Structure 1
Amino acid sequence: MKKNKNQQNKWKRDFLTIAGGQTVSLIGSAAVQFSLIWWLASETASPIMMSIAGVFAFLPQLVLGPFAGVWVDRINRKTVIIAADLFIGLVALVFAFFFLFGNPPYWSVCMVLGIRAVGTVFHTPAIQAAVPMLVPQQELVRANGWSQFMQSGAFLLGPVLGAAMYTALPLWIILLSDLVGALIASATVAVVKIPDPERQVKQRPQLFHEMKEGAAAICQDRKLFIVTAATLVGMVFYAPLSTFYPLMTSGYFRADAWHASMVNLGYATGMMLCALILGKFGTIKNKFPVIHLGLLGMGASSLLCGLLPAKMVWFWVFAALCALLGASSNLYNIPYIAYMQETIDPDKMGRAFSLIGSLSSATMPLGLLIAGPVAESRGVSLWFFVSGIALLLLTSVSALLVLPQSRRV
């Protein structure tokens, strides 16, 4: 009994040590990201330049994600995590010198956002693949709940900290906070022993063959494949909503920036509350009903947002629905990640997570190509309604195909 208790305390201590360090790093990165974007916006006031910056920020995941997964599965994951963290910190350090000795050209900020994103492409799947090597299988939902709670808090606190630092400090000092966070995160990973999966020895990388193995790990699981396919199609409709939230606040409800911050706060609070609940009561044996419940919550919330009248009194209902959207997204995401960590072979997990990340990144530009003209001509509220209908239909089809099978297992 005492031995089991010591083992349980050990995995919790190791996991929370790494998660705590990563949270500190995320806060610094979010503050730096906010400051760079705000500097670019205030200096250029150019929507085109902001769009280019956005493209540079997500393009590495779209292009490099599947290849990065191959290397994550070939190299010691602890090494990948530390190297990626330090790479991001060193990029910030180098760029800090540009601001220290003058104002760099605007395009250089886009380049830095893109280069920093390269580190994230390797870092995210390495962390996701390392978690099941530390955490007992039955505790994966709880561990991911804790992780998502801390990440949601970091993404909420980071921009606030970035805004405060931006008004009080020169930008080169703000950039150094990214390096400090990276050093802290690397130190917490370094002190924890992360077992690596057994791998077949491969002399030379066979990138496309190994990428196919990652895809096969998803496709061979019929339930996982159906849910993933339905979600990715749904994200084409749902992903553009992140761009339309400010437009709903300012254009549809005629509210101000303070109200816009309430929407962001509500969404992040919903994510944190759901993550906290799953972290506390997170032992879920059959994950697919919970996954579909999260998707249904996202669809229903989006649909209701699109039906709200354009009157200020309804704005607070919109803010509440955004909190429900945030909670629903974690209700889907946490058990989905835990299921992948439980069922996919550890030596293929990096490739599987990288592939999902790349496909998810592709949904945003594809969705904006479709949603942009519709929202421009018919209003953003219509796209909330369309997104909700699409998610509800796709989730219903997925549930009909997956849930009867999951009950028999």
Structure 2
Amino acid sequence: MEGFLKLKQESIFQNKSFMLLLMGQIVSNLGNAVHSVAVSWFIMNTVGKELSGTYMGIFGACVLIPYIICGPLSGVYVDRISRKKIIVGTDLIRGSLIVLLGGLVYLNIYPMISLFTITFLSALFGSFFNPAVDASIPNIVAEKDLTQANSLNGMSRQLTWIIGGAISGFLYYKLGIIGIFLVNGISFILSGISETFIKLPHVKKESNESSSFWSDFKGGVKYVKNQKTLMRVMVFSLVLNFIYSPIFQIVFPKTLKFTLDMGAREYGILQSLFPVGAMLGMVALSSFKVLQDNHRVVKLAILIQSIFFIGFGIPIISTMLDHLGNSNVYILYCILAVLLMICNAFINIPFFTALQKKVPDEYRGRFFGLLNTLSQGIVPIGLGFYGFISDLVLPSVIFIGSGIVALLMGVWIIGTTDFKEIL
């Protein structure tokens, strides 16, 4: 494939460029995980109970909006200029911004405005970083190692969020919010420094170098529209994002609190099991070649994932709940959470790897920029929809109904004539 480095027959762990990129992301993602949890406590301690919800909503919007607005545009730059410069530059800039935030909060210079402004700017540069990384991995990893590389990359993200979430409370009380900002900022800077040693080729594009930004942007959109296979995958992904993310952000915690009468401790334990399940799935994909590039495994995982999702609704039907009891349903939820995310890994990693292979290098940045934007943009719509119906409809009905929709979408994507071609 064009754009690959001439790689020796070596283990992916001997691929210095990939390992530098991976380690850089682990350092910065760990700082980010600690940062995200600590900011919530900082906001609540600063503005109090009455306004904390509003301010946390504004913080969330500052994280999300730049990805929605700039995602497709950032992909154009990823395809036009050096991806290595984007990766290194955005990490260094984000690190400097967050260190600056620590200084502004320390000096008590409009701490909330400073937080929102720098969060927005940091997310803006992050919208360039992610498509650049996604588009670059196929350039530094041999095609046979792509599935393993994506599995390791995904595992690192899940692991850092588990560890970051676990230690954030301790670090917040030991270092304070200013210390957290400094740790996060320095982690980005260290990540950027390590990424300067990555050997990433600047691939010559087939498009006219003198072409305008907007013509490149429209060319990327036209390419995606003309690829029926890619369009099907995007529709499938968007529908699942519309269903899964909002349900586990809104319906799931309400079910635990009001239906199962569980507290924050039980909710935290259950939340930590989702990334554990994802990691187990990624470890299996990374370790066993028989699971890689196997469309039958993906097909089975798509169907089983939907069935597990329906399984969250059946035990909380009133008659079933009375028979099983709250504690037993909670244990069942813990098991389902792990199994669901194992299946999710068996779907996401092969699809993501297939897209990296299928999309030509000259369009890859624009494609992943567009995909990231649509994936992020569909979530607020889903949050509004499920937030509304969760106050009107029983959670058992929501889980079962949404699971059936996911199952039908799975049957549709599996039944397409080019399902094998996708993978």
TM-score when normalising by structure 2: 0.89
| Secondary structure of residue in 2 paired with 1:172 | helix
Letter in 1 for 2:191: A
Is 2:292–2:350's contact at 8 Å kept on the other side of the alignment?
Answer: no
Name the counterpart of 1:87: 93
Q: Which of 188, 207, 212 pairs up with 1:206?
A: 212
Is 2:83–2:202's contact at 8 Å kept on the other side of the alignment?
Answer: yes
For residues 88-116 of structure 1, give each alpha carbon's deviation from its aligned partner in whole angstroms, at most 9, with x where no partner exists. Answer: 11111111012212274434433332222
Distance 2:12 2:384 in 1: 49
| Secondary structure of residue in 2 paired with 1:240 | helix
| Secondary structure of residue in 2 paired with 1:69 | helix
Moved more, 341-350 or 209-218: 209-218
Q: Using the TM superposition, give the Cα deviation of residue 286 of structure 1 relative to its aligned residue in structure 2, in angstroms.
A: 4.4
Name the counterpart of 1:270: 277
Name the counterpart of 2:146: 140
Name the counterpart of 1:60: 66
Moved more, 100-109 or 273-282: 100-109
Q: Using the TM superposition, give the Cα deviation of residue 212 of structure 1 relative to its aligned residue in structure 2, in angstroms.
A: 3.1
| Secondary structure of residue in 2 paired with 1:170 | helix
Name the counterpart of 1:37: 40
Moved more, 150-159 or 212-221: 212-221
Is 1:145–1:276's contact at 8 Å kept on the other side of the alignment?
Answer: yes
Distance 1:108 1:282 in 2: 48
Moved more, 240-249 or 256-265: 240-249
* Residue 240 of structure 2 corresponds to residue 234 of structure 1: yes
Letter in 2 for 1:406: K
For residues 222-259 of structure 1, give each alpha carbon's deviation from its aligned partner in whole angstroms, at most 9, with x where no partner exists. Answer: 33321221221232222202312322222221111111
Name the counterpart of 1:149: 155
Distance 1:345 1:300 in 2: 35
Q: Pairwise mapping of residues 262-341 of structure 1 onto structure 2 (< 5 A)?
A: 262-282=269-289, 286=293, 288-309=295-316, 310=321, 311-341=326-356
Distance 1:383 1:88 in 2: 39
Is 2:74–2:366's contact at 8 Å kept on the other side of the alignment?
Answer: yes
Name the counterpart of 1:344: 359
Q: Measured at CA, do residues 388 and 75 of structure 1 come closer, stay the same or move farther in structure 2, by a change above 3 Å?
A: same
* Residue 30 of structure 2 corresponds to residue 24 of structure 1: no
Q: Using the TM superposition, give the Cα deviation of residue 267 of structure 1 relative to its aligned residue in structure 2, in angstroms.
A: 0.3
Moved more, 154-163 or 198-207: 198-207
* Residue 105 of structure 2 corresponds to residue 99 of structure 1: yes
Q: Measured at CA, do residues 52 and 167 of structure 1 come closer, stay the same or move farther in structure 2, by a change above 3 Å?
A: same
Distance 1:286 1:277 in 2: 13
Letter in 2 for 1:329: N
Distance 1:154 1:265 in 2: 12
Moved more, 357-366 or 156-165: 156-165
Name the counterpart of 2:415: 400
| Secondary structure of residue in 2 paired with 1:199 | coil
Q: Using the TM superposition, give the Cα deviation of residue 357 of structure 1 relative to its aligned residue in structure 2, in angstroms.
A: 0.3
Q: Measured at CA, do residues 71 and 4 of structure 1 come closer, stay the same or move farther in structure 2, by a change above 3 Å?
A: closer
Distance 2:189 2:367 in 1: 28
Is 1:141–1:279's contact at 8 Å kept on the other side of the alignment?
Answer: yes
Q: Measured at CA, do residues 300 and 139 of structure 1 come closer, stay the same or move farther in structure 2, by a change above 3 Å?
A: same
Q: Using the TM superposition, give the Cα deviation of residue 349 of structure 1 relative to its aligned residue in structure 2, in angstroms.
A: 0.6
Distance 1:319 1:295 in 2: 20
Distance 1:149 1:212 in 2: 34
Is 2:86–2:132's contact at 8 Å kept on the other side of the alignment?
Answer: yes
For residues 288-340 of structure 1, give each alpha carbon's deviation from its aligned partner in whole angstroms, at most 9, with x where no partner exists. Answer: 44444443343222211122225232111112111122222222211111111
Is 1:132–1:140's contact at 8 Å kept on the other side of the alignment?
Answer: yes
Name the counterpart of 2:3: none
* Residue 184 of structure 2 corresponds to residue 178 of structure 1: yes
| Secondary structure of residue in 2 paired with 1:377 | coil
Structure 1 portions without partners, runs of 5+: none
Structure 2 portions without partners, runs of 5+: 1-5
| Secondary structure of residue in 1 paired with 2:261 | coil
Q: May I ask how many residue pairs the two structures share in their alignment?
A: 406
Q: Measured at CA, do residues 103 and 303 of structure 1 come closer, stay the same or move farther in structure 2, by a change above 3 Å?
A: farther
% identical aligned pairs: 22
Is 1:297–1:324's contact at 8 Å kept on the other side of the alignment?
Answer: no
Q: Pairwise mapping of residues 125-136 of structure 1 onto structure 2 (< 5 A)?
A: 125-136=131-142
Moved more, 140-149 or 325-334: 325-334
